[in-house]
Structure 1
Amino acid sequence: MRLLSASVRPKKQRGRRLLAIAGSCGLAVASLTAVAPAAHSAPAPLAASAARAAAEAPLAYVTNYSDDTVSVIDTATTAVTSTFAVGDGPKAVAASPDGARLYVSNGDAGSVSVTDTATGTVTATVPVGDGPNGIAVSPDGTRAYVVNSALQRLTVIDTATNAVTATITVGSAPQQVAVSPDGGRAYVTNYNARSVSVIDTATNTVTATVNVGGFPQSVAVTPDGTRAYVTRPYSNSVVVIDTATNAVSANVPLTDGPYDLAVSPDGAHVYVSRGQGATIATIATATNTVTATTAAGNTPRGVAVTPDGRKVYTANGNSAAVSVIDIAANTTTAVPVGTTPVDIAIAERPTADLGVKLTATPRPGLLNGRIEYTATLTNHGPRTLASATVTLNLPSGTGATSPDCALTTGKATCTATGLAPGAEVTRRVTVPVSALSLGTSYTVTATRTASTPTDPNPANDSASRTCTATTALVINCT
């Protein structure tokens, strides 16, 4: 399959777009009653730990070029959990370092969609000009870099304002971009120019041009920033650039049209999609030799590695699926996504751990006493808590009052919004105690019933307090 030059873009055809595009790839406070676990059940701490680990597993985002959508895959279950619309002809995708935002280049719309990953909604659309293709986000999350294949430039977006702040002229038919781990340099592959442009991100100027030959397509930088790996589909090889000298230091022969690539988190391996061979090749960076070949789907394009380095994901353009490769087992699982998947990014899951504590304070009275229940809601992070609902179950028919929460029979519904990591708020509910209570028990439980973004820790989602009133003057709380 031949790649088109940057100045030519196929007209959109619903359901059958061409893949010949130059595409991118707190502690609960409660009285506890021991309950014996069911036979063969996991111990509670282990089960809670496993549940939290699953809730914190990163997400994979896949651009579906023909559907104008992004599919979201839960890497803990390898299941598609949602699909949301973006712009016309989505190609490349990149996430902010905290996983809060997603940036998608819309090849047929000349724009970038900025998406809130917690809600899956596009919050801004940034016009960037004709032919947006590869995209990368700086390590500090302050800038997004977008390749304009048709305009021979790199566009810089300020992520705080979602405004274009600079455009940088590069070589002919630029395809992909990668940013060094320190954020100081950006590397752009110039397909027709057979070169890589090295850009100083502080000055937004090209400081070097590396002749790599062979129609370079994709680029990735090692975690230590010392090397950049570049695919050359029509030369059937991957070249290595020494970033200290900006010179080619090695050439790795690789058949079947090496297309996209990703470096493992430890820098020990590079995983390369082979667009004409339906496989992923593994290159050992210590020797720059191919050490493994693993089956993938038809026409693999974008490649990404999970943060733990255990799995490799690749978007298979002509399979309408993503391949999930278990590195240790050397096995592949197919996950159906949308039509013509092109690129893939794996990012931390947007989570905010809301902890719920509850205190009960007796307020005795000669004729009528009361109990003040105070729910303390703490955001343990790592993300800002956009919204949360905590429900307090109340003794029925007691005539409870609250300055903070909505009351219905037997229930108080309390909300919180915009709670920053480490911040906390309180919500109060007062339950009256009659003069002749005669040992009446008042038990209230506060429970998180909803929150955005996802809460990864169910262990601190509820708390309970019980008070016993003999009379309105004698109230004991535990």
Structure 2
Amino acid sequence: MLTVHAPGDLALSPDGRTAYVVDRTDGVVRALDTADGRERLPADAPFTDALTADHGGTRLFAFSRSAGAVTEIDPRSMAVVTRISADDPVAVAVAPDDSRAYVASGRGGSLTIIELASGSAVVRPVGALPSDVVAAGGHVYVALAADRRIAVLSPDGVETGEVRLPTSAVTRDNPVRLGVTPDESTLLALDPVRSELYVIDPRSSQLLSTLGAAAGESTLRMSADGARAYVVATTAGEIAVIDVRRRVQVATVPLGCGPGGIAEASDGRALVATCPAQDTVVVTAR
């Protein structure tokens, strides 16, 4: 168990030895050794809502809706590399080859595509109320809450298709969360208000299955290999483990707290979760 003031979201290094945790009290991102809790110098990133790490462990992105910015951090030195202005950034995804970062803008209805080698950026309109973005294979997927659909884009941000989600009079504008397997065979969409997890074939846009989700669930995470999905039940103090191929919930991991963020170790043997009310970060064996 590690100690952090009011911890929020977190991300793990590729080897699982370092947890990068949002300290919401002090306005920094902390780097903690998951084995002994030792900490390196924190990075200044006030009002951070969530973290996204690249696949190679060379970049960490902290985004803040209130500050209207995405902060790029070097995870080795914990130094701030740059701050990128963005209108209401709600999510960041990194391309599988770490060549680009994609920033979804909620109020702006746009996707900012950043070339990580040069730092150049282009803004593409995508639709009303983006709530999440993920990237895998040769596509980028953007959840559009106002239209209850997922826009399917090429790597340079051109829309090539869409997936329509179940809708009703009470589900419009719900902030949908996304997950996708590395081979793009399965796309997951979590509606935390409707308490449903949709399993979709993105190639055909077919809805394969709908799973129930406990009320209050708002976070969806995938294992690196895409075999498992984790759904955080913030009110129930537990994590639902989903077998993606079988499309069923196979386990429930109790935490004893309302988690603020979760991540799976690269070897799949442990889950790391933050407990904001207890000022702790918990490492739980799977």
Distance in structure 2 (CA, Å) of the matches to 1:299 and 1:188: 27
**TM-superposition CA deviations, 1:413-459 (whole Å, max 9, x none):** xxxxxxxxxxxxxxxxxxxxxxxxxxxxxxxxxxxxxxxxxxxxxxx
**TM-superposition CA deviations, 1:21-52 (whole Å, max 9, x none):** xx999xxxxxxxxxxxxxxxxxxxxxxxxxxx
Q: Is the 8 A contact 2:72 2:83 kept in 1?
A: yes
Query: Is 1:176 aligned with 2:176?
Result: no
Residue 279 of structure 1 and its aligned partner are, at CA, apart by: 0.8
**TM-superposition CA deviations, 1:89-114 (whole Å, max 9, x none):** 11222222221221111222211111
The alignment partner of 2:62 has SS state of: strand
Residue 269 of structure 1 and its aligned partner are, at CA, apart by: 1.9
Contiguous gaps of at least 5 residues in structure 1: 1-14, 26-55, 328-478
1:126 aligned residue (65, 77, 84): 84
The alignment partner of 1:293 has SS state of: strand
* Structure 2 equivalent of residue 37 of structure 1: none
What is the correspondence of 1:76-95 to structure 2 with a 5 Å cutoff? 77=35, 79-82=37-40, 84-95=42-53
Distance in structure 2 (CA, Å) of the matches to 1:316 and 1:235: 24
Distance in structure 1 (CA, Å) of the matches to 2:131 and 2:282: 23
2:154 aligned residue (175, 200, 203): 200
Contiguous gaps of at least 5 residues in structure 2: none
Change (3 A) 1:188 1:323: farther
Residue 171 of structure 1 and its aligned partner are, at CA, apart by: 3.2
Q: Is the 8 A contact 1:232 1:257 kept in 2?
A: no
Distance in structure 2 (CA, Å) of the matches to 1:288 and 1:191: 24
Residue 222 of structure 1 and its aligned partner are, at CA, apart by: 1.3
The alignment partner of 1:323 has SS state of: strand
Distance in structure 2 (CA, Å) of the matches to 1:198 and 1:94: 20
One-letter amino acid of the counterpart of residue 160, structure 2: T
Distance in structure 1 (CA, Å) of the matches to 2:225 and 2:55: 17
* Structure 1 equivalent of residue 222 of structure 2: 263
What is the correspondence of 1:314-333 to structure 2 with a 5 Å cutoff? 314-327=273-286
One-letter amino acid of the counterpart of residue 194, structure 1: R
One-letter amino acid of the counterpart of residue 157, structure 1: I
* Structure 2 equivalent of residue 401 of structure 1: none
Residue 57 of structure 1 and its aligned partner are, at CA, apart by: 4.8
Q: Is the 8 A contact 1:299 1:319 kept in 2?
A: no
Query: Is 1:252 aligned with 2:211?
Result: yes
Residue 154 of structure 1 and its aligned partner are, at CA, apart by: 1.3
The percent identity for this pair of structures is 27
Coordinate RMSD, CA, aligned = 2.5
Q: Is the 8 A contact 1:188 1:197 kept in 2?
A: yes
* Structure 2 equivalent of residue 151 of structure 1: 108
Distance in structure 1 (CA, Å) of the matches to 2:206 and 2:161: 10
> Which sits farther off after the overlay, 247-256 or 313-322?
313-322
Q: Is the 8 A contact 1:237 1:258 kept in 2?
A: no
The alignment partner of 2:152 has SS state of: strand
What is the correspondence of 1:22-33 to structure 2 with a 5 Å cutoff? none
* Structure 1 equivalent of residue 164 of structure 2: 211
Distance in structure 2 (CA, Å) of the matches to 1:195 and 1:243: 12
* Structure 2 equivalent of residue 366 of structure 1: none
One-letter amino acid of the counterpart of residue 176, structure 1: D
* Structure 2 equivalent of residue 237 of structure 1: 196
Q: Is the 8 A contact 2:258 2:276 kept in 1?
A: yes
Change (3 A) 1:234 1:24: farther
One-letter amino acid of the counterpart of residue 135, structure 2: V
The alignment partner of 1:79 has SS state of: coil
Change (3 A) 1:317 1:150: farther
Distance in structure 2 (CA, Å) of the matches to 1:112 and 1:325: 30
Query: Is 1:285 aligned with 2:244?
Result: yes
One-letter amino acid of the counterpart of residue 110, structure 1: G
One-letter amino acid of the counterpart of residue 209, structure 1: E
What is the correspondence of 1:50-449 to structure 2 with a 5 Å cutoff? 57-75=16-34, 77=35, 79-82=37-40, 84-128=42-86, 130-164=87-121, 166-180=122-136, 182=137, 184-202=138-156, 204-212=157-165, 213=167, 214=171, 215-296=174-255, 298-327=257-286
**TM-superposition CA deviations, 1:108-152 (whole Å, max 9, x none):** 221111111121110211222x21121111111111111111211
One-letter amino acid of the counterpart of residue 240, structure 1: V
Q: Is the 8 A contact 2:127 2:144 kept in 1?
A: yes
Residue 317 of structure 1 and its aligned partner are, at CA, apart by: 4.3
Change (3 A) 1:261 1:60: same
Q: Is the 8 A contact 2:188 2:200 kept in 1?
A: yes
**TM-superposition CA deviations, 1:276-317 (whole Å, max 9, x none):** 211100112232121211122543243321110111223344
Residue 71 of structure 1 and its aligned partner are, at CA, apart by: 1.8
Change (3 A) 1:251 1:74: same
Change (3 A) 1:246 1:277: same
Q: Is the 8 A contact 1:88 1:108 kept in 2?
A: no
User: Rg: which structure is higher?
Assistant: 1
